[in-house]
Amino acid sequence: MSKKTEELKEKIEKLEEVYETDFEIGDQNVNPLGLDLHNPVFVTSAFLILVFVIGSLIFPDVSNSALTATREWIGETFHWLFLSGGSIFVLFCLLLIVLPVGRIRLGGQDAKPDFSVMSWFSMLFAAGMGIGLMFWSVAEPVGYFTEWFGTPLNIEGGTEEAKRAALGATMYHWGLHPWAIYAVVGLSLAFFTYNKGLPLTIRSSFYPLLGDRVWGPFGHVIDTLAVLATMFGLATSLGFGAQQAAAGLEFLFGIDSGLNTQVAIIIGVTIIALLSVMRGIHGGVRVLSNINLMFAAVLLLFVMIAGGFIAFLANAGTTLTAYAQYILPLSNPVGREDETFYHGWTIFFWAWWISWSPFVGMFIARVSRGRTVRQFVTAVLLVPTLVTVVWMSAFGGAGLNQSMAGVGALADGISDSTLALFQMLENMPFAAITSLLAIVLVLIFFITSSDSGSLVIDSITSGGKTDAPQSQRLFWATFEGIVAGVLLAVGGAAALQALQAGAVSTGLPFLIILLAMCVSLAKGLYHELAILRLSEAQAT
């Protein structure tokens, strides 16, 4: 062995020693229920969630008032931090695509992807914002256009410019920014787990900054916050999904859409989600995600054609150009006059995406081994954004066209956001069939969200294990359904709003965590790049 080769080998070994750690995932301490309770995150998270649910049910108005006040205070005080943070995440991800670190492969240079490109993409998209796109794709742009939700940049509603602003603002909320947030968390978890051998849990992302201290109390706090944010975000989203599905059933079949129907939907979907959890990612989430992608493509194609393909192309052009036109003004936190829209919606969405980031990011990480950093960020950031442009142009554009033409219920604006999608489909051929397909889509998105969420929470609360007892995954999937169902059935709207405000309130601490995560990830990636370059030099 030459002297140069020996020197390179010593350098590689020295670099690799940086991530040698004595972390303890712990032996399984399985109780009679089959739950791995060794990690304090499990007990703490379950206890806090239970306390919150009971408190919300007993004192729904008090809980709602307190959390809403907290949400408003965060929005008023830290609005600049949310907007600036969102822009930083987008720029950070775009840099990862073009910088040399982009060629690093998750799991090592010889790692192979676990899933096909189509299955991988369908899973990350279904977990990321499936229910949300179904719920808001018509309601949000039409609401902005008719001033029901406030107007972006105080543009007068009901005009051509209002249509452009509505499509541009909707894309701003559902485009690059949320997926950049997900990409930061997902890439951090995947990299530190598959390349550095650390547990698949949020705290691992901070090892370059904190070292072995991440395995102590500080790490427990990070993971507990991640579980709380995930559960709150899921329960609220499942509540929205149940409300929309129930509204669709009433719209189609005259079935009462009240709490009984909503709870019945949650129970039925939770049972199916439990079966999916038992089958695991390959046999459960992957299969359902592929089915949903096919159904979503059919519904999307139908709306594009039935709403007029030329009109769709025009709306797509408007959406893209309006997104480019308004992305900078909407990202500006200084001197804004549209406070009702800005604080009521943009800050809410940013905090919402951040509170969801542990859930979506960890799930994306679990299915992304074998992809390069460049492939990962491109797929997670750019591809879903382009798909969202198409989706919003079709559904939101059709709703806006009907509203502007005075056609159907949307001519008068949004009376009920849960019905907006069905009211748009009502004015197209085969309305009963397409509405039924939309309900099925919502339910399957419902199942995949619950399924993937339980897998993620299970991993966090077991200290990063991916093979924790199956009963533990079933516990969390059941708990998600119980939280959503009980809040809808007993607490009503006030409790659900309290939970939604709670999810938003978790956004501020996680925003700070995400900003630190960017620094930690950059340090880790450049460390890995140095090892890769030395290894290549040694090989030659």
**Local confidence band at 181 (pLDDT 50, 70, 90 cut-offs):** very high
Tell me what pLDDT residue 32 has.
46
267, 481 in Cβ contact below 8 A? Answer: yes
Helices 217-253 and 431-461 pack at an angle, to 10 degrees, of 160
The rounded distance, in Å, linking the Cα atoms of 361 and 200 is 11
Residue 427 belongs to a domain with what CATH number?
1.20.1740
Number of folded domains that form the chain: 1
Give the number of other Cβ atoms within 10 Å of residue 480's Cβ. 26
Q: Is the pLDDT of residue 231 over 70?
A: yes
Q: One-letter amino acid identity for 248? A: G
pLDDT in tens, 186-195: 999 999 999 9
Residue 327 domain-assigned (yes or no): yes
Which tokens hold the place of 244?
A: 């929309």
Torsion over CA of 468, 470, 476 and 480, rounded to 10 degrees? 140
Band of the pLDDT at 127, cuts 50, 70, 90? low
- Locate 283 and state its tokens: 């046999």
Query: Among 41-45, 147-151, 536-540, which stretch is predicted with the lowest mean pLDDT?
Result: 536-540
Among 171-175, 321-325, 435-439, 529-533, which stretch is predicted with the lowest mean pLDDT? 529-533
Q: Does residue 10 fall inside a structural domain?
A: no
List all residues 6 or more positions away from 318 whose beta carbon is below 8 Å from its beta carbon: 163, 164, 167, 393, 397
Question: Has residue 298 got a pLDDT over 60?
Answer: yes
Q: Which residue range(s) make up the domain with 467?
A: 31-72+88-530
Least confident segment among 112-126, 486-500, 524-538: 486-500
Token couple for 24 = 């303890």
Higher pLDDT, 242 or 34: 242
pTM (2 d.p.): 0.88
Can you point out the beta strands (E) in 182-288?
none
Inside any domain, residue 285: yes
118 pLDDT tier (thresholds 50, 70, 90): confident
The answer as to whether 443 is a domain residue is yes
> What pLDDT does 257 receive?
82
Q: Picking from 222-231, 456-465, 492-501, which range would have the lowest pLDDT averaged per residue?
A: 492-501
pLDDT reported for residue 147 = 85
Q: Is residue 16 part of a domain?
A: no
Element housing 423 (H / E): helix 420-425
Domain-embedded: residue 393:
yes
3-state secondary structure 106-117: CCCCCCCCCCCH
pLDDT of residue 26: 44
pLDDT of 342 reads: 84
* DSSP annotation of 378: I
User: 28 falls in which pLDDT band (50, 70, 90)?
Assistant: very low
Write out pLDDT tens, residues 63-72: 777 877 887 8
- pLDDT: is 394 or 271 the higher one? 394
Per DSSP, 430 falls in state T
Rounded Cα gap, residues 46 and 259, in angstroms: 25
Structure confidence at residue 293 (pLDDT): 77
**pLDDT for the residue numbered 27:** 44
- Residue 324 neighbours by CB under 8 Å, 6+ apart: none
Q: Which residue has the higher pLDDT, 261 or 56?
A: 261
| Number of CB atoms found within 10 A of residue 38's CB | 18
Greater pLDDT, 517 or 456: 517
* For residue 132, pLDDT beyond 80: no
Contact in structure between 375 and 183 (CB atoms under 8 Å) = no
For residue 303, tell me if it sits in a domain: yes
Task: Specify the pLDDT at position 191.
Answer: 94
Phi, psi of 372 (to 5 degrees): -80, 160
What is the per-residue pLDDT for 340? 79
Q: Does residue 539 lie within any of the structural domains?
A: no
pLDDT above 60: residue 220? yes
Q: Which position has the token pair 């940049």?
A: 153
Mean of pLDDT values over 331-339: 84
Per-residue pLDDT tens over the stretch 358-374: 878 887 888 888 999 99
| pLDDT in the model for residue 2 | 62
Note whether 180 and 86 are within 8 A (CB): yes
CA distance 474 to 231: 14
Higher pLDDT, 91 or 154: 91
- C-alpha 400/C-alpha 330 separation (Å) is 21
